[in-house]
Amino acid sequence: MNVYVQNRGVSVEKEKLILIDGNSIASRAFYALPLLSNAAGLHTNAVYGFTTMLLRLIEEEKPTHFLVAFDAGKVTFRHKDYSEYKGGRSKTPPELSEQFPLLKELLPAFGIRQFELEGYEADDIIGTLTRTAQEEGKEVLVVSGDKDMLQLVSDKVTVALTRKGISEVDRYDPAEIQEKYGLTPAQIIDLKGLMGDSSDNIPGIPGVGEKTALKLLHEYGSVESVLEHADDMKGKMKEKIRDHADSARMSKEIATIFREVPMDTEWNALAYSGVQGPELAAMFRKLEFKSLLEKMDFSGADSGDAAEDADAPQAEPLVVRLISEDNIGDLLPALPDVRSIHVEAAGDNAHTAVIIGAALRTGDAGYYVPASVLTAPKAQPLRDWLADGSAEKSTWDRHRAELALAWSGITLSGVTFDVMLAAYLLDPTETSLTLSGMADKYGVPSVAPDEAVFGKGAKFRLPETEVLAAHVCRKADRIERLHAELHERLQEVEMLQLYYELELPLSGVLADMELRGIKVDKAALKQLGDELAVQIDRTMSEIYRHAGFEFNINSPKQLGEVLFEKLQLPVQKKTKTGYSTDAEVLEKLAPYHDIVKGILHYRQLAKLQSTYVEGLLKEVRPETGKVHTYYRQTIAATGRLSSQYPNLQNIPIRLEEGRKIRKVFVPSEPGWSILAADYSQIELRVLAHISGDANLKEAFTNNMDIHTKTAMDVFGVAESEVDSNMRRSAKAVNFGIVYGISDYGLSQNLSITRKEASQFIEQYFAVFQGVRQYMDDIVTEAREKGYVTTLLNRRRYLPEITASNFNLRSFAERTAMNTPIQGTAADIIKLAMVQMDERLKREGLKSRMLLQVHDELIFEVPPDELEVMRRLVPEVMEGALKLDVPLLAEVNDGFNWYETK
């Protein structure tokens, strides 16, 4: 969308002022986007995010007046009354601080005025301008990440608060505030006075949170009225309010935005006449915003000829062409020019999703093909093109698109770019990868969220055909625009190889595996269910015998009464509804009474029955007799795959009854075998490579049992002297150390004191000094860079690594230690899957890869290929990535999955 041209000389009937809280939005943009920098080494992610928001606001809001307000310094008039104001905030990262001058240099090129004044905050400047604009009857939109701004809302002033980074905002008018809080805008100050604000170090009344503060305000209306009625209250609340009345008054005063800042408030001084083409083009080049340069189409901008610039051609609107069986011939000549497609399907599980239609983007047009046309006889040339691997296409979620089409008998090949996969690699902590969200995040024209078009959940409905066609075609258009942008970003962060050689081909491998599915012996599964039912009944009888009467074991209330009132077991913790009987509580109570062991066993059996017997029976596809799990490639921040519908990665194999579930997974061909290959201690081998620790490397190089070797070194004994307890302790530390285990965590795992656990960890680090050095170094590196990487250069950003909050910072530090290890292990088995798929095809083998479960690959193999596969699978898995220590894959086979162990 050519925002630059669209906003020059546009006549607008209604005057509108946009006010942006500069510091707030810049900070939000900084933490929302990965660290970016130009060739000169200047960090630019905050400026980039801010820029995309400006472009969106200009295009969507059509402002006539515009201003960005900044804080002028750290000391304001509020510090005179309360010296601790904002005292708890951590220092602004230098990577953000250095971007404010760039941002302030960019705004004049946008034609936007900026303002700051010593001793005042941006809030006060915005508060003053909203007051004067409101007095003149002007419409105002305030954009910020600070809820304090809600006090400015009125019939003329709307506040847009960023909800997720800067890509989504919630708009507040008086009705919205009333609906959400039950308050008027003016009462937002009273809310802050009572509950305080930890981000600004405003104390409020200690122990009064938002819920309590709202309850008080709904009853009394204001801070002052609450204080006046303190004597009417009871117990601790009365005490709190009386003891902290001064704090509440002061907090309200501090939270009140000052709306009399001495400044030039002449309305015409805020007029917005459009961007300054040559200046903005120059800034984009300096900042290396190449994709924005292309999108803005600065025709003639370098010449400095404003008139020519204003007359630059506008971007053509997208033409939507609805394809039917009658006019499908119009689409066929355009197929060679199609570069992006979007397949729209309804349903979370791609194996049961219903195809709605597909959009193809070419030139200035988007072609929408309904599902009924896609499958029609006349659409065979279109289906041939979709299946043509030489016809390159970009899409959103290739994996899901391939599966959904395949179940309708349509093959999709030739996908050379998957926008969703690229976005995931660029920010693996993104919790909601949607095309609309990515468009906003990466500065391409917005597209409506699916919920706005289709509704959500039970309210899901298909809109009118024209609306549907336009929506799906816009999505195809955004895919094409995002392709170039995300490819460039992958190149900047050196992840092109990871993307094109691992993640993209893997998505096709996963789709093939999932379509293939794994056969389930339903008769064996039902028999297992019958056996579990007998065990459940027997276990329940034992529980009733210990209790002395029958009760509902599944009722926390009744169970709590039995354990803590009838049997008088020590209460561990309480909830709002009574005694807690969660797993953690029961584990602690197990030594006190046999009934607890029975309850734990009952819960395990009941879960097996409901989740894995009844659950699996529901997931068996009638026409195939198989379950077709759905692997999510973009869920885990470490790069691990996640299995759904059903989840075959969480079968509880530590319990014999759980292991028996694997008996029902059998080959789909008579006489074939199931073959399973499992990486041995892959994460510890990766740790040995990354840390370079001599003792770890020695153990793996000499093929020693790593837990025995650890016990020998830590306890200072010979191999023959290592007993089972020593090895168990060594194993707990070996695996725990990968996750940054604490002395408390180890003490819980081994049922020893924290002091003993601490000593054990110290002994471990004294022996494995390379591991300790790695952990110190990786945390330091994460603080400096803001991210860590795997051996294949997969990134994980850790903004909390410098957090002032101890818990957040500690979690980030543990994540920094673990991600390079766990992420590299995930990369290795993914590499093995891609390479294994290639070898099976290249050697013309009939054997099929069926599942990936953590560090294990499952195949079904004909009898004449069994010896070949016993050799080939470990060869490929052990050679997937060269490490300083050997990788080891252990291979077993049998007539079902259970027999492979």
Q: What is the mean pLDDT of residues 292-321?
A: 50
Helical ranges in 548-676 per DSSP H:
556-560, 583-589, 594-607, 615-619, 656-659
For the purposes of burial, counting CB atoms within 10 Å of the CB of 815, is it exposed (0-12), middle (13-18) or buried (19 or more)?
A: buried
Lowest mean pLDDT among 71-80, 270-279, 312-321, 562-571: 312-321
Percent of the chain at pLDDT above 70? Answer: 92
Q: Are 604 and 489 part of one and the same domain? A: no
Of 575, 801, 787, 821, which Cα lies nearest the Cα of 693? 821
Report the alpha-carbon distance of residue 426 to residue 694 in Å, rounded.
34
Report the alpha-carbon distance of residue 591 to residue 831 in Å, rounded.
46
Of 15, 5, 45, which Cα lies nearest the Cα of 29? 45
Are the C-beta atoms of 51 and 1 separated by less than 8 Å? no
Residue with tokens 């200046």: 279
Q: Is residue 100 part of a domain?
A: yes
Residue 4 pLDDT level (bands cut at 50, 70, 90): very low
Tokens of 129: 């301008």
Tokens of 368: 């929408």
pLDDT attached to residue 498: 96
Domain assignment of residue 534, given as a range: 519-627
pLDDT attached to residue 673: 96
Are the C-beta atoms of 310 and 301 separated by less than 8 Å? no
Mean pLDDT of the chain: 85
**Backbone φ, ψ for residue 639 (5° rounding):** 100, -5
* Cα-based angle 403, 658, 598 (whole degrees, multiple of 5): 140
How many separate domains does the chain show? 3
CATH number at residue 92: 3.40.50.1010
Lowest mean pLDDT among 167-176, 484-493, 820-829: 167-176
Question: Considering Cα of 450, then 453, then 458, then 464, what sign does the dihedral take?
Answer: negative
CATH number at residue 466: 3.30.420.10
Report the alpha-carbon distance of residue 628 to residue 557 in Å, rounded.
39
Q: Is residue 105 part of a domain?
A: yes
Lowest mean pLDDT among 294-308, 534-548, 711-725: 294-308
Q: What is the mean pLDDT of residues 404-433?
A: 91
Write out pLDDT tens, residues 177-209.
898 888 889 888 888 878 777 666 677 787 787
Does 10 score more than 50 pLDDT?
A: no
Lowest mean pLDDT among 258-272, 517-531, 808-822: 258-272
Tokens of 331: 């689409």
**Backbone φ, ψ for residue 673 (5° rounding):** -120, 155
Q: Which residues pair with 393 in a beta bridge?
A: 415
pLDDT attached to residue 245: 78
Does 431 score more than 60 pLDDT?
A: yes
Residue 419 pLDDT level (bands cut at 50, 70, 90): very high
Does 433 score more than 70 pLDDT?
A: yes
State the Rg of the chain over Cα.
31
Q: Is residue 288 part of a domain?
A: no
Residue 448 pLDDT level (bands cut at 50, 70, 90): confident
pLDDT attached to residue 716: 82
pLDDT attached to residue 215: 85
According to the 3-state scheme, what is the secondary structure of 401-470? Answer: HHHHHHCCCCCCCCEEEEHHHHHHHHCCCCCCCCHHHHHHHCCCCCCCCHHHHHCCHHHCCCCCHHHHHH
pLDDT attached to residue 576: 66
**Ramachandran region of residue 443, left (φ > 0), alpha (ψ -120 to 50) or beta?**
left
Q: What is the mean pLDDT of residues 281-289?
A: 84
Report the alpha-carbon distance of residue 183 to residue 523 in Å, rounded.
61
Report the alpha-carbon distance of residue 371 to residue 554 in Å, rounded.
46
Report the alpha-carbon distance of residue 816 to residue 810 in Å, rounded.
10
Q: How far is CA 253 from the centre of its chain?
A: 38
pLDDT attached to residue 747: 76
**Ramachandran region of residue 264, left (φ > 0), alpha (ψ -120 to 50) or beta?**
beta
Are the C-beta atoms of 722 and 715 separated by less than 8 Å? yes
Residue 456 pLDDT level (bands cut at 50, 70, 90): confident
Percent of the chain at pLDDT above 90? Answer: 42
Does 303 score more than 60 pLDDT?
A: no
Of 444, 425, 394, 395, which Cα lies nearest the Cα of 490? 425
Q: Are 472 and 602 part of one and the same domain? A: no
Answer with the one of 583, 601, 627 that is the final residue of a domain: 627
Select the more confidently predicted residue: 168 or 793: 793
Report the alpha-carbon distance of residue 156 to residue 141 in Å, rounded.
9
pLDDT attached to residue 872: 97
Does 72 score more than 60 pLDDT?
A: yes
Q: Is residue 203 part of a domain?
A: no
Report the alpha-carbon distance of residue 608 to residue 535 in Å, rounded.
11
Q: Are 344 and 491 part of one and the same domain? A: yes
Residue with tokens 């061909």: 669
Are the C-beta atoms of 442 and 453 separated by less than 8 Å? no
Q: Are 411 and 530 part of one and the same domain? A: no
Q: What type of residue sits at position 113?
A: R
pLDDT attached to residue 41: 66
Any idea how long the chain is? 901
Q: Are 414 and 532 part of one and the same domain? A: no
Helix and strand numbers, DSSP H then E, in the chain: 40, 25
Q: Are 391 and 490 part of one and the same domain? A: yes
Q: Which residues pair with 460 in a beta bridge?
A: none
Select the more confidently predicted residue: 798 or 805: 798
Q: What type of residue sits at position 123?
A: D
Q: Is residue 138 part of a domain?
A: yes
pLDDT attached to residue 97: 81
Select the more confidently predicted residue: 743 or 157: 157
Contacts made by residues 43-48, CB under 8 angstroms, sequence distance 24+: 43/95, 43/96, 43/98, 43/99, 44/99, 44/102, 44/287, 44/288, 44/289, 45/99, 46/96, 46/99, 46/103, 47/99, 47/102, 47/103, 47/106, 47/287, 48/287, 48/289, 48/443
Q: Which residues pair with 366 in a beta bridge?
A: 320, 361
Does 709 score more than 80 pLDDT?
A: yes
Q: How far is CA 364 from the centre of its chain?
A: 34
Q: What is the mean pLDDT of residues 592-605?
A: 91
Write out pLDDT tens, residues 668-694.
999 999 999 999 999 999 999 999 999
Q: Are 349 and 430 part of one and the same domain? A: yes
Q: Is residue 466 part of a domain?
A: yes
Report the alpha-carbon distance of residue 648 to residue 630 in Å, rounded.
10
Q: Are 401 and 472 part of one and the same domain? A: yes
Does 300 score more than 50 pLDDT?
A: no
**Backbone φ, ψ for residue 24 (5° rounding):** -65, -50
Does 86 score more than 80 pLDDT?
A: no
Does 718 score more than 90 pLDDT?
A: no
Report the alpha-carbon distance of residue 827 to residue 697 in Å, rounded.
21
Query: Which positions ≥6 away from 468 have C-beta within 8 Å?
Result: 344, 356, 357, 368, 453, 462
Are the C-beta atoms of 796 and 429 separated by less than 8 Å? yes
Q: What type of residue sits at position 503?
A: E
Q: Are 392 and 455 part of one and the same domain? A: yes
Are the C-beta atoms of 614 and 529 separated by less than 8 Å? yes
Residue 80 pLDDT level (bands cut at 50, 70, 90): low
Are the C-beta atoms of 217 and 243 separated by less than 8 Å? no
Element (H, E) at 734: helix 724-737
pLDDT attached to residue 164: 62
Residue with tokens 């969703």: 420
pLDDT attached to residue 761: 84
Of 404, 319, 390, 326, which Cα lies nearest the Cα of 358? 404
pLDDT attached to residue 274: 85
Residue with tokens 């905030």: 89
pLDDT attached to residue 304: 34
Q: Is residue 748 part of a domain?
A: no
Report the alpha-carbon distance of residue 447 to residue 147 in Å, rounded.
27
Query: Which positions ≥6 away from 659 have C-beta within 8 Å?
Result: 653, 898, 901
Q: Is residue 835 part of a domain?
A: no
The single-letter DSSP state of residue 337 is: G
Query: Which positions ≥6 away from 300 have C-beta within 8 Å?
Result: 277, 308, 309, 312
Report the alpha-carbon distance of residue 528 to residue 656 in Å, rounded.
12
Q: Are 129 and 32 part of one and the same domain? A: yes
Does 295 score more than 80 pLDDT?
A: no
Task: Choose the most confident range, by mean pLDDT, from 22-26, 295-299, 411-415, 742-746.
Answer: 411-415
Residue 757 pLDDT level (bands cut at 50, 70, 90): confident
Q: At what angle do helices 187-195 and 210-220 cross, to 10 degrees?
A: 130
Answer with the one of 468, 488, 517 that is the final residue of a domain: 517
Q: Are 59 and 134 part of one and the same domain? A: yes
Of 423, 415, 376, 371, which Cα lies nearest the Cα of 395? 415
Residue 553 pLDDT level (bands cut at 50, 70, 90): very high
Answer with the one of 627, 650, 678 that is the final residue of a domain: 627
Query: Which positions ≥6 away from 13 have C-beta within 8 Å?
Result: none
101 preceded by a cis bond (ω within 30 of 0): no
CATH number at residue 610: 1.20.1060.10
pLDDT attached to residue 611: 87
Q: Are 371 and 492 part of one and the same domain? A: yes
Are the C-beta atoms of 48 and 287 separated by less than 8 Å? yes
